[in-house]
Amino acid sequence: MKKNKAIKIIGISSYIIFLILSYIFNFNPGKKIGNNFFIFSIDMLKILPPAFILIGLFEIWVKRETVEKHFGEASGIKGYILAILLASTTVGGLYVAFPVAYSLNSKGAKLSVIFTYIGASAICRIPMTIFEASFLGIKFTSIRLIVSISLVIITSIFLSNYLTKKGYNITEGK
């Protein structure tokens, strides 16, 4: 365990030293890396805190029975549709999707619906879809969404069935 911590410290320290030396010696690729890291960090600080506050409120305000009814074992196709709709409105991509998926799991959502939510959050966010349609056309975007979402649902069901047969269970992290 100490070896992993030492490797992390060495890696982070090396990165910081590289950035400092890039600015001192005017090394443009290093300066661009530093600027991109700074911009990315600011963007994440704008998105993640409000998203995590909303996830926390979801944990407190939404009852387990509600999630089980709409996303649970008895939800049927409605659970997949709701997961896709929820995923299409998720801001922050997979940075937010994984904590939401964990929250859904802790409230009793079906595993295949959770996998559908994660897959859909990567492929059908509303702003991304509008951007794609404006450049590649509505016909292309519609076909891509139909094929992608169908494959996500099918894969989610197969993966869920496989993991259920193997006795897989999501455990609490330490």
In the chain, what are the domain boundaries?
1-48, 62-174
Q: What residues contact residue 16 under an 8 Å CB cut-off, 6+ apart?
A: none
Q: Enter the tokens of residue 37.
A: 């890291």
pLDDT tens digits, the chain, 174 residues: what are they? Answer: 678 888 899 999 999 999 999 999 999 999 999 999 999 999 888 888 888 898 899 889 989 999 999 998 888 899 999 999 999 988 877 888 999 999 999 898 999 999 999 999 999 888 889 999 999 999 999 999 999 999 999 999 999 999 989 887 766 554
| Side chain identity at residue 69, one-letter code | K
Place of tokens 């099918």: 154
Dist. CA 151–CA 108, nearest whole Å: 24
